[in-house]
Chain A
Amino acid sequence: MTELATMDFHPRPQAGDAKPWAFPAPERGSLDNGLTVLRCHRPGQQVVAVEVLLDAPLEAEPAGLDGVATIMARAFSEGTDKHSAEDFAAELERAGATLDAHADHPGVRLSLEVPASRLAKGLGLVADALRAPAFADSEVERLVANRLDEIPHELANPSRRGAKELSKELFPADSRMSRPRQGTEETVAAIDSAGVRAFYEKHVRPATATAVVVGDLTGIDLDALLGDTLGAWTGSPAEPRPVPPVTADDTGRVVIVDRPGAVQTQLLIGRIGPDRHDRVWPAQVLGTYCLGGTLTSRLDRVLREEKGYTYGVRAFGQVLRSAPDGTGAAMLAISGSVDTPNTGPALEDLWTVLRTLAAEGLTDAERDVAVQNLVGVAPLKYETAAAVASTLADQVEQHLPDDYQATLYRQLATTGTVEATAAAVSAFPVDRLVTVLVGDAAQIKAPVEALGIGEVTVVAAE
């Protein structure tokens, strides 16, 4: 074999001059039917992304019908007054389009991606789905049966199972947030086409909906296109909807969801915190990144790159639901999986990382690298139309101004180490974290109890 290769070494190069880039500003308008429209021209993006937001939040689901918003969302692509379910799917695919629809706490969202050359066709299908969904008995029955079949698959997935348990632990039983977003076996089984139609009639109308259109719009008369498609959708005017406050019990405790024989323990450690209306958000983004944003952040530096306990552990903040008055909430969490025998040591190290952060704070170097990454990756992150559309839609859904993201980048750049430390420490206080472990209780319970991070309870996986 050859000896160590020799090469000419050069000093590390310095950066060139940065070229200006700003998060795109959308143009806001509305159609005659009250539909709000945000549009954004992105040259070169041949696949156009369209997001339609419906003000049909999960908390609006009638008692006992959890999952009806999900079934409605799925039923949008199962036939209209013009197409059967099979034909609708065929027409979408003929346009080279994909259409996803899902229901979450803030509302229902439809996401269309379609080549710019076939935007008219794609928008027409989405408009038909919203304006005149068939909600045929047999199709809704099938969607319900299909959804019931999915539930055991989700429960068998450690990460999904953990998320379900954390919601149940954190939120009061009468809060919609405590229960699975897509319903349980009992509630889904009670859904029929009449229930779906009633939910649609009560909560879906153009006056409370927003469409976001992003992509290369060169040569496209978007006003005419929208007028012919989403403009033909009619409905009653908007009604104000009270938004209940979000509360959670973050008393430090541990719940083990027992999976005998599991070779890893899935961890999900969480609580709730403020949403993006709060002034702390930029500092919290920064601090959370330093804690667990990447494999060189504090958690993975120890758990992965020093100890090898995990393939990766991440800390994140994810908005659950926002209100115009700023009373919304976000889930703050740490997640990942660690091998079963090292579950106790991994959690011990994780808590040590949190305690050290609280005691010693972040360094200026950590803060600088985090800012450079979070701000610097923006042009990469928002290269595609879909990424831009999704962020614009999030802003609308969270009652934020259209220039929120652009402003956030400026705020991140001026947030200091002290603020980032304070935000991270108050986001992840060591005694106010609910820990869900999906793993082999017989092997992990005793070592976890020994850590003293809260009372340990064991529940069955099913």
Chain B
Amino acid sequence: MPMGHTATAQAGSGGLTATEHRLANGLRVVLSEDHLTPVAAVCLWYDVGSRHEVKGRTGLAHLFEHLMFQGSAQVKGNGHFELVQGAGGSLNGTTSFERTNYFETMPAHELELALWLEADRMGSLLAALDDESMENQRDVVKNERRQRYDNVPYGTAFEKLTALAYPEGHPYHHTPIGSMADLDAATLEDARAFFRTYYAPNNAVLSVVGDIDPEQTLAWVEKYFGSIPGHDGKPAPRDGSLPETIGEQLREVVEEEVPARALMAAYRLPHDGTRACDAADLALTVLGGGESSRLYNRLVRRDRTAVAAGFGLLRLAGAPSLGWLDVKTSGDVEVPVIETAIDEELARFAEEGPTAEEMERAQAQLEREWLDRLGTVAGRADELCRYAVLFGDPQLALTAVQRVLEITPEEVQEVAKARLRPDNRAVLVYEPTAPEAPADQDENEEAAR
């Protein structure tokens, strides 16, 4: 087994180090030692997400992630959860556009168990996967969709914005949760085929971070994962490239039973992993990243037209990233009032660029967010996998904060000027409707108690 980098801290890494290794079957392994607390995080990223799904099967990657917790050759039923929790660990999995991740944080002396469990399902999930778990988890996921999206005000806003910002047929046009119709249509054979196609050691990165003995850890990884065959059955993902800007202002008005008017918008931004993306992150932070941001000061403090106003960044590597504006109006304020103010602020920012103080504040905020993410073994394990899977180099995780701090005000202004424009956004407007007439209402009953 070839050994990778030596563990020498790079400049700007805060003293953190990581080593890289590759098994003969193609599984990439990243190890990072940290003996401050007797815990170890295991994180496994599979290079498959909702962007790999095909028409008519949206939501399959995420439904499949649920099935990964339903047992494998040596793990019965919910055994994965039971064994990890019974060992004093915590665990979960998540699915996004670009990847599916599985993670366990364990007391350090239970690390080997987590590796055994992950290997068992990577190599033998299909030995246990059956109709019963498929039907059950289909219902669970549909309830997850109802709880998180369909039954809350504005719950489907992100899904609508994504569908506007990435055109029909684009791999990022739909979100990982998928549609109810497609969740209903997925078959057990779809799930089996999905596993055979994407769940291979050479389509994954495993990171182990914390109070570990690297040599012993690597030996366990080889023992449990080493015999799982790799394969080249994975088709190339559909092309996610798009023009840098949308080229027109797209707009959808939603009339729904929501508590207040809202203005949301999605801007196409540079790909993750570029300096321009870091510059966009800083631009969005200055404009809408907190209670001293330009939009907050303008809309919430001065004009008092909004109850909340902010920008978020969804970093994407395989398609343009998404800058997400979210403003909820105050009282009876109409959307055009907000829209005019936002356009003024964005135009002014593109014209002036950030002040030195704004740069300092935005960089300090992003630096703290990075310290938070790298401050736990689980956060560090996830970031190492992210940079390994998406950019081919886990070491980049340890210097990410340094790169944000090196961005200049000119770069921030440049990206704002090029991207934060009305002709590069998809706008979603919410106009509240009156509630449906309550059925079976008995006011007297309440008053009588």
Q: Does A149 contact B (CB under 8 A)?
A: yes
Closest partner residue, chain A, to B143 (CB atom): A311
Q: Does A7 contact B (CB under 8 A)?
A: yes
Q: Does A220 contact B (CB under 8 A)?
A: no
Q: What is the bound-complex CA distance between A176 and B112, given in angstroms?
A: 51
A85 touches B301 (CB 8 A): yes
Closest partner residue, chain A, to B41 (CB atom): A380
Q: Please tell me the size bucket of the interface on B.
A: 35 or more
A461 touches B368 (CB 8 A): no
Q: What is the bound-complex CA distance between A311 and B143, given in angstroms?
A: 5
A377 touches B361 (CB 8 A): no
Q: Which of B82-90, B235-243, B271-279, B336-344 contacts its partner?
A: B82-90
Q: What is the bound-complex CA distance between A94 and B135, given in angstroms?
A: 51
- Total interface residues on A, CB under 8 Å, equals 94
> Closest Cβ of chain B: how far from A406's Cβ, in Å?
16
B109 touches A19 (CB 8 A): yes
Within residues 346 to 398 of chain A, which ones have a CB less than 8 A from any CB in chain B? 368-369, 372-373, 375-380, 383-384
B376 touches A383 (CB 8 A): yes
Q: Which of B53-61, B148-156, B159-167 contacts its partner?
A: B148-156
Q: Which of B94-102, B223-231, B317-325, B385-393 contacts its partner?
A: B223-231
Q: Does B2 contact A (CB under 8 A)?
A: no
CB within 8 Å for A260 and B437 given contacts A115-B367, A153-B153, A337-B147: yes
Residues in B whose Cβ lies below 8 Å from that of A62: none
B371 touches A46 (CB 8 A): yes
Closest partner residue, chain A, to B69 (CB atom): A295
Residues in A whose Cβ lies below 8 Å from that of B347: none
Q: What is the bound-complex CA distance between A369 and B82, given in angstroms?
A: 8
> Closest Cβ of chain B: how far from A426's Cβ, in Å?
25
Set B85, B143, B377: member contacting A309, Cβ < 8 A? B143
Residues in A whose Cβ lies below 8 Å from that of B443: 460
B260 touches A90 (CB 8 A): no
Q: What is the bound-complex CA distance between A309 and B89, given in angstroms?
A: 27
Q: Does A157 contact B (CB under 8 A)?
A: yes
Q: Does B137 contact A (CB under 8 A)?
A: yes
> Closest Cβ of chain A: how far from B303's Cβ, in Å?
11
Set B85, B105, B328: member contacting A294, Cβ < 8 A? B85
Q: Does A405 contact B (CB under 8 A)?
A: no
Give the tally of cross-chain contacts (CB within 8 A). 272
Within residues 87 to 145 of chain A, which ones have a CB less than 8 A from any CB in chain B? 89-90, 92-98, 113-115, 118, 142, 145
B113 touches A262 (CB 8 A): no
Q: B435-446, CB under 8 A of A: which get 1 and which 0?
A: 111111111011
Set B90, B113, B304, B328: member contacting A380, Cβ < 8 A? B90
Set A43, A46, A85: member contacting B14, Cβ < 8 A? A46
Q: What is the bound-complex CA distance between A339 and B331, given in angstroms?
A: 33
Q: Which of B122-130, B245-253, B407-415 contacts its partner?
A: B122-130
CB within 8 Å for A305 and B78 given contacts A4-B127, A158-B152, A458-B440: yes
CB within 8 Å for A258 and B292 given contacts A18-B107, A459-B446: no
Q: Does A401 contact B (CB under 8 A)?
A: no
Residues in B whose Cβ lies below 8 Å from that of A98: 368
B150 touches A263 (CB 8 A): yes
20 chain-A/chain-B pairs, Cβ below 8 angstroms = A1-B193, A12-B113, A13-B220, A15-B112, A19-B108, A46-B371, A86-B292, A90-B361, A96-B364, A264-B146, A301-B78, A308-B138, A308-B139, A372-B86, A372-B88, A376-B88, A377-B89, A380-B39, A380-B378, A458-B445
Those 6 A-B pairs whose CB atoms lie nearest each other, nearest first: A376-B88, A308-B139, A96-B364, A442-B439, A7-B123, A16-B109
Q: Residues of A with Cβ closer than 8 Å to B?
A: 1-2, 4-10, 12-13, 15-21, 43-47, 77, 85-86, 89-90, 92-98, 113-115, 118, 142, 145-146, 149-150, 152-153, 155-158, 258, 260-264, 266, 294-296, 301, 304-311, 337-339, 368-369, 372-373, 375-380, 383-384, 440-442, 445, 457-462
Q: For the A-B complex with A9-B124, A13-B113, A90-B357 known, give 5 more contacts whose Cβ atoms are closer than 8 Å.
A: A96-B365, A145-B304, A153-B259, A338-B143, A380-B89
